[in-house]
Amino acid sequence: MSVLRIEDLCTHYFLGEDQVQAVDNVTFDIAESEIFGLAGESGCGKTTAAYSIMRILPENGAIVNGRIFLDDEDVVVKTEEEMRQLRWRKVSIVFQYAMNAFNPVLRIGNQIVEVMLEKQSIDKEEATKKAKELFDEVGLEPERIRDYPHEFSGGMRQRAIIAQALAAEPRLIIADEPVTALDVIVQNKILGLLKSLQKKYQLAVLLITHDLSVVAENSDRVGIMYAGNLVEVGTTVNVFKESLHPYTYKLIGAFPSVKGPKRRLEFIPGTPPDLIRPPSGCRFHPRCPWAQDICNLEVPEYREYEKNHWVACHFAGEINFEVEP
Amino acid sequence: MSHGYSPFPDHPYDRMHSDNIVYYGGNPYVLNNATVDALIEDYLSASPAELAEAARLVQVAAKYNIPYIPLFLSDDTHAIRSEWTNYTIKPGGIFTTFNPQTVVFMTSSVDNSLFVMAYSSDIGEMNPLFWRSERSHWYNMLVYDTLLSFDNESNLIPWLAEDYAISADGTQINFTLRTGAQWHDGLPVRPEDVEFSINYYKNGPSDVNDWPTFQHITSTSVDGQVITINMDQTMAFAPHIFGTQMYVLPEHVRDDAPQNDARWDDPTNGTAHTGSGPYEFDSRDPDEFTLVTKFANWWGPTNPYVGQLPNIDAFRIDVVIGQDARILAMRAGDADSERYEVFGAYVNVVLNAPELTLVTGLASQWDYVLGFHLNVTEPGFPGLGISDFRVRKAMSHAIDRAQLVNIGRLGHGRETHSIIPETFYASLYHPDGDFWEHNTTIANNILDAAGYLDVDGDGVREYPGVVLPPPPPNLILIGIAGAVALIIGIVISYFIFRMRKG
Amino acid sequence: MSEKKAVGTRQYIATRIVQTIVVWFGIITLNFFIFRIMPGDPRGTLIAEHMPPEVVQAIALRFGLDQPIAIQFVLYIVNLFRGDLGESFSHYGQPVIETIFAFRFWNTVILMGTSILIALIVAIIMGVIAASRRDKVIDVGSTTVFLVTYSMPVFWLGLMILYYFGFILRVIPLAGTITRGIVHVNIFHYIADYLWHMTGPLVVLTLSFIGGFYLIMRDSVLDVFTQDYILAARAKGLKERAILYGHAMRNAMLPMVSVIAVNMPFLISGATITETVFSWSGLGLLTYNSDVANDWPVLQGIFLFLATVAVLSNFVADILYLYLDPRIRY
């Protein structure tokens, strides 16, 4: 049984007369204790998808279509109050900017205790004890739960954020660019921590990042998003070694690889499309070197090309990526 | 500038005598003229027989020296609820401190139990020896008695005293105390109380009101009901000051504490405010109200100039700060009148209020004058400008008083032409002292003759002897000359340069 | 680390105390000379109403106004430290301390304190509500209303209230802090009478204060709403009230501390115009009357007191920030 299942999710932002189709027809699922990496360029809709799951979209954003199941409960149809009760208990989030995700005038411990008291039937003393344990768990000195956010370094704060995410014992953690703001050494430590906790607590993790190397090294499965669409989903090996979608191929090519032979970095010509008026057919076709007429005319079906390897491309498997026309 | 006239004209000393040249605030505009000083001194020390002529001379001296120019008296445009009648019309207005008659005679067609006077700010001090404003003075008048008062022509009349007499040389004054007068606590007012009061004023600290006049007293004595004051010199207005400015105070209350003791200003100490006036002190809340109630045993009925007790049972002084609020309070019946007259646009507000009457056609005690700072001179022009009598005379000719009254008081005022104006002091005014007529031609002629000419044609006269400065140099000409010189210089340099090379 | 902070904080507080004292000394000096360099002379006012010049001289002598200015200054400082602010010119012979503190101070503090408190509470609540319902009817409505009250001239508002509620409807009194000439039955009667008289000025002052407070609060909350920790709090599934009052308001209140500190002298000085319109005998009215009467000692006393309150409240605000905002460190 999957912890999270998203079907045909469409989330739009309303800007006056216009609608930004930030997430369009996205379907994927995450199994228990699985790390699912969601990758793509900035602005491709990764964070919007995450906020849709928690239903914490800004006021002008709305889920216009689709269903989101958390343990077979559809969160889209829930009332705001039901949703509020569900948050953190089923799914918690590790924010992109740990720097500002804690209220600067409240002690960190209190902010963690606060959510425990809200989500679990325990008293304050117990919650404080638990918060200390969590601190210990994430590698922070337990007595420092009395510190204020500004007294922590960036890495410490990220650890505290992770501790907070674990506070209500959720089954799914959304890690939205959890290490982007950190330097490389701290990044690896945090990711290692995240992974070990995931194993220990059998957590499902939705790991959102623009950094393909992070995804490649930490995920069981990977989804690649482009311009609000999920273009390819599969096991990490499949997606990285046997890419089916031209965008996936190009994206991987645009990243430096630590291992393997040195090569010239490639870049993808053109810019991501305007999501108010996205291109017809396949949204990637204006930038795709292998595009044909059909790509302009028809939206490619999101299909399971081979077992557990989904793709949305008319010519999946038919393109020789080595040769550009 | 504006001043307040007292009921007797001793103000020429304050406004003209060189003693009062002071370099701060108050009174900078007095003359420094020994002849005028002597005339004023003669006036203030005149015996009763000499007084009228001395007053004439002072008025004439003012006309020919112009220490200041009298302009007009404002009208006593008092607002009062319409049901009140029978207030006493006196120069100065219906509610001056020298008009206790209004308080006694005024009556209402509706209800005589209470009269509320709205004050724009509270009484500053209750102690009658130290009143510092007419507001406080007016309260003092309700609670305390003076020996004498004034009739409607500003002549002295018996009040608490039933008679008074002045010796021919003016150095001895006898007051005959009325019999049967009582203090508010029921004890009789004795001639010894009067003698005590005189010496109480005299021996007080120097900032007791009228203290310097009291210092001229050499001895006092009591014989039956008669109190005698002997002085070391004649003082024209001594009867006025001792008779109408000094409040008679009870010896049995006052003799055990100094004149400026705090108790005399303490509203919680009722005994401290014992007087013999028509009203006795009841209660007071500072900045809120002061209440006095009718004194049933007042001596009024025994005085032929009064002949009755007051009609009103109680007076209350309420503090109502804003003029708008006071008018609303009067219209609402919360107040019956206000301490000072209404000004400007408020005159019409009162005229349009059906509940209120505007007292008009009566001069107030406030007089407006054009004062000069005679102790400054323009550097380089000693004795000229304002210091020059001819300039002041021309200004005196140039002033249109009727226009000033129209603009300044919307017509509610009356012109004054003498420093002792007829409106206020009919008996001492003399037409010889009338100021220069309004005539701008004469004014211009005086200035022309004196050499104050408009040399530069800008509409403002210059001091005598000022000549036109030489015309400014012609800039275009200078420019052309400079340019020509430059060209010549360049040409010459060029040739010199070539010659060297060659 | 917190040890280090404690040392820094102690040092900071010590520095601020020294600064405060220096500023205060500067103010008392300025306070003395500012009256001496102003045009106008108290003796001038004292003789305005038929006061013989000899008496004026005598008064000058009594108040030491004939002394050289340096001597006057020394006397002023010496007397200041003996708690003697001199005697009022216009309340003859009354010590300034009494003139200021006997009852006027209390009248002002009660009136201003109540109105500032009400204005603050209403402004904070309405500011939070308006910000959380941005651009909805309640936001636009309250912003419009408070902008209007904020920009209304106080004397005009006061006079309108006086005219319509005092004169036409006769529901509030026209002047004073109590009904004149009555003897109050007991303390409750007095309090009721006092509160009834306070209605008019209270409404005017509250309306005049509320706008500024409200706009600052609303703005501050809106600013806080854009912060990541509010999104985080929402993601944590906290109750809306907990987010609003536990997270948003605490941060949004920080600027209000400065606002309150800045308004503290106002609390003391009173609103001269409102006190004048309603004949409310407070320090504002005293300032006005003393100014008209050139009553230097009283003005000096009021200004000194005001400056002291201003300096102290700023000091307290700075110290308060140390505890309200843990980010501040020295």
Distance from C-alpha of C61 to C-alpha of C81, rounded to nearest angstrom: 23
C323 exposed, middle or buried (CB, 10 Å; 0-12, 13-18, 19+)?
A: exposed
Predicted confidence band at C170 (pLDDT cuts at 50, 70, 90)?
very high
Q: What is the pLDDT of residue C325?
A: 81
Q: Which of B151, B178, B114, B492 is nearest to B316 (CA)?
A: B114
CA distance B262 to B265: 6
Residue A277 lies in a domain: yes
The pLDDT value recorded for residue A264 is: 63
Segment C243-252 mean pLDDT: 86
Q: What pLDDT is attached to residue B354?
A: 93
Contact A23, A45 (CB under 8 A): yes
B426: which residues sit within 8 A by CB, 6+ positions away? B153, B154
* Cα A122-A124-A129 angle, rounded to 5 deg: 90
The token pair at B452 is 């104050």
Question: In 3-state terms, what secondary structure has residue A141?
Answer: coil
HEC sequence for B387-409: HCHHHHHHHHHHCCHHHHHHHHH
Q: Please compute, for residue A109, the number of CA atoms within 13 A of its CA located in the half-sphere on the CB side.
A: 20
Average pLDDT, chain B: 90
Mean pLDDT of B108-132: 92
Residue C136 has pLDDT above 60, yes or no: yes
Average pLDDT (B171-186) is 95
Whether the predicted pLDDT of C20 surpasses 80: yes
- Does the distance separating the beta carbons of A101 and C238 come in below 8 Å? no
Average pLDDT over every residue of B362-378: 83
Task: Judge: C93–B265 Cβ closer than 8 Å, yes or no.
Answer: yes
**Where does the pLDDT of residue B29 fall: very low under 50, low under 70, confident under 90, or very high at 90 and above?**
low
Is C53 at the interface with chain B, CB within 8 A? yes
Asked, for residue A194, whether it belongs to a domain, the answer is yes
Gap between the Cα atoms of A297 and A273, Å rounded: 16
Whether residue A318 lies inside any domain: the answer is no
DSSP string of B318-376? EE--SHHHHHHHHHHTS-SEESS---TTHHHHHHT-TTEEEE-S-EEEEEEEEE--TT-
In one letter, which amino acid is B196?
F
Region for residue C270 given its phi and psi (left: phi exceeds 0; alpha: psi -120 to 50; beta: otherwise): left
Q: What pLDDT is attached to residue C8? A: 75
Report pTM.
Answer: 0.78
Q: Which residue ranges in chain A fall short of pLDDT 70?
A: 1, 97-99, 256-265
Structure confidence at residue A169 (pLDDT):
87
Is A87–C236 a contact, with Cβ atoms under 8 angstroms apart?
A: yes
Task: Note the pLDDT of residue C27.
Answer: 86
Token match 């920790």: residue? C229
Q: List domains and CATH numbers for chain C.
A: 2-90 (no CATH), 104-280 (1.10.3720.10)
Helix, strand or coil, per DSSP, at residue A223: strand
- Please state, in angstroms and as integers, the Cα–Cα distance from residue C185 to each residue in C134, C171, C188, C193, C195, following that order: 51, 21, 8, 11, 15
Q: How far apart are CA A235 and CA A304, in angstroms?
A: 12
**% of residues, chain B, pLDDT over 90:** 63
Whole-Å CA distances, C28 to B21, C17, C35, C80, C311: 33, 17, 12, 9, 12
Contact B328 C51 (CB under 8 A): no
* Nearest CA distance, A111 vs chain C (angstrom): 9
Given this model, what pLDDT does residue C54 score? 63
What is the helix, strand, coil percentage profile of chain B, to 5? 35, 20, 45
What is the DSSP track for B267-297? TT-SGGG---SSEEEEEEETTTEEEEEE-TT
Residue among C195, C199, C201, C219 at smallest CA distance from C123:
C219
8 A C-beta contact, residue A206 and residue A39:
no
**Inter-residue contact B93 to B364 (CB < 8 Å):** yes
Q: What is the mean pLDDT of residues C43-52?
A: 50
Does residue A99 belong to any structural domain of this protein? no
- Indicate whether B386 pLDDT > 90: no
Q: Which domain holds residue A193?
A: 2-90+170-311
For residue B413, the cross-strand partners are B74
pLDDT value, residue C49: 46
Tokens of residue A79, six digits = 């009332």
Distance CA B311, CA B315 (A): 11
The Cα angle at residue B95 between residues B92 and B100, in degrees rounded to 5: 100
Instruction: Identify the pLDDT of residue B25.
Output: 47
Cβ atoms within 10 Å, residue B459: 6
- Asked if A87 has any chain C CB less than 8 Å from its own CB, the reply is yes
Which pLDDT band, with edges at 50, 70 and 90, does C76 fall under?
Answer: confident
For residue B132, what pLDDT is reported? 81
pLDDT in the model for residue A233: 93
**Structure confidence at residue C56 as a pLDDT band (50, 70, 90):** low
- Judge whether B183 and B160 are in contact, CB under 8 Å: no
Mean pLDDT of chain A: 88
- Inter-chain contact C41–B19, Cβ cutoff 8 Å? no
What percentage of chain B exceeds 70 in pLDDT?
Answer: 97
Residue A13 CB contacts under 8 Å (≥ 6 apart), including other chains: A19, A20, A22, A48, A58, A60, A61
Residue A210 lies in a domain: yes
Does the pLDDT at position B138 exceed 50? yes
Helix axes A108-119, A154-166, angle to 10 degrees: 10
Token representation of residue A50: 């995450």
Residues on chain A touching C235 (C-beta within 8 angstroms): 54, 56, 87-88, 92-93, 95
Which chain A residues are closer than 8 Å to C247 by Cβ? Answer: 103, 106
Instruction: For residue A56, give the nearest of C1, C234, C254 by CB distance.
Output: C234
Mutate to test the interface with B, among C41, C43, C45, C49 (most CBs of B within 10 A): C49
* Tokens 């008074």, located at residue: B164
**Residue B358 pLDDT level (bands cut at 50, 70, 90):** very high
- Among A116-130, B97-111, C153-167, C263-277, which is the least confidently predicted range? C263-277
Beta-carbon neighbour count of residue B479 at 10 Å? 10
Range B463-468 contact pairs with CB under 8 angstroms and sequence separation of 24 or more? B463/B378, B463/B381, B463/B384, B463/B385, B464/B384
Amino acid identity for residue C164 in this structure: Y
Distances (CA, A) of B353 to B12, B115, B254: 40, 19, 46
pLDDT in tens, C264-314: 787 777 688 899 999 999 998 898 888 877 787 888 888 888 888 888 888
| Rama region for B437: left / alpha / beta (φ>0; ψ in -120 to 50; rest) | beta
Taking 60 as the threshold, does the pLDDT of residue C47 lie above it? no
Which of B266, B287, B349 is the best substitution to test chain C (most C C-beta atoms within 10 A)? Answer: B287
Q: Would you say the C-alpha torsion C288, C293, C296, C298 has a positive or negative sign?
A: negative
| Structural domains of chain A, count | 1
CB burial of C164-174 (b: ≥16 within 10 Å; e: otherwise) equals: ebbbeeeebbb
Q: Does the distance separating the beta carbons of C167 and B287 come in below 8 Å?
A: no
Where b means 16+ CB within 10 Å and e means fewer, B438-456 reads beeebbeebbeebebeeee
> What would the 3-class secondary structure string for chain C be?
CHHHHHHHHHHHHHHHHHHHHHHHHHHHHHHHHHHHHCCCCHHHHHCCCCCCHHHHHHHHHHCCCCCCHHHHHHHHHHHHHCCCCCECCCCCCCEHHHHHHCCHHHHHHHHHHHHHHHHHHHHHHHHHHHHHCCCCHHHHHHHHHHHHHHHCCHHHHHHHHHHHHHHHCCCCCCCCCCCCCCCCCCHHHHHHHHHHHHHHHHHHHHHHHHHHHHHHHHHHHHHHHCCHHHHHHHHCCCCHHHHHHHHHHHHHHHHHHHHHHHHHHHHHHCCHHHHHHCCCCCHHHHHHHHHHCCCHHHHHHHHHHHHHHHHHHHHHHHHHHHHHCCCCCC
Say what the ipTM of the complex is.
0.84
For A108-137, write each residue's pLDDT tens digit: 999 999 999 988 888 999 999 999 999 998
pLDDT of residue C48: 44
CATH number reported for the structural domain that contains residue A252 in this entry: 3.40.50.300
Which chain C residues are Cβ-neighbours of B324 within 8 angstroms? 159, 162-163, 277
Bridge partners (DSSP) listed for residue A23: A11
List the beta bridge partners of residue B4. Answer: B366
**C325, two tokens:** 């905002």
pLDDT, tens digit (0-9, with 9 covering 90-100), for C173-193: 999 999 998 888 899 999 999
Q: Give the span between the Cα atoms of A129 and B202, in whole angstroms.
A: 88
Q: What does the alpha-carbon distance between residue B317 and residue B118 come to, in Å, rounded to a whole number?
A: 6
For residues B58-72, average pLDDT: 93
Q: Which of residues 252-281 of B touch C (CB under 8 A)?
A: 260, 262, 265
| Sheet architecture: strand order including B68-75 | B2-4, B363-371, B68-75, B413-415
Across the interface, whether the CB atoms of C178 and B334 are under 8 A apart is answered no
For chain B, first and last CA: distance in Å?
A: 87
Mean of all residue pLDDT scores within chain C: 84
Q: A11 near A56, Cβ under 8 Å?
A: no
With respect to residue A149, please indicate whether it lies within any of the assigned structural domains.
Answer: no
Gyration radius from chain A CA atoms: 20
- Whether B27 and C53 have beta carbons less than 8 Å apart is answered as yes
Interface of B with C in 120-149 (CB under 8 A): 121-122, 124-125, 127, 130, 132-134
Residue C43 has pLDDT above 70, yes or no: no
pLDDT of amino acid C297: 81
Å between B205 CA and nearest CA of chain C: 9
Token reading at B478: 């200078």
B453-500 tens-digit pLDDT: 888 888 888 888 887 777 777 888 888 988 999 998 888 888 887 776
The answer to whether residue A77 neighbours chain C at the CB level (below 8 Å) is no
Tell me how far apart the alpha carbons of residues C330 and C316 are, in angstroms, rounded to a whole number.
Answer: 16
Q: Per DSSP, which regions of chain A are E strands?
A: 2-15, 18-31, 35-39, 61-70, 73-74, 91-94, 172-176, 204-209, 221-226, 229-235, 303-306, 309-311
Express each pLDDT in B298-313 by its tens digit: 999 999 999 999 999 9
Task: Tell me whether residues C229 and A101 touch, CB distance under 8 A.
Answer: yes
Look at residue A198 and tell me if it is in a domain.
yes
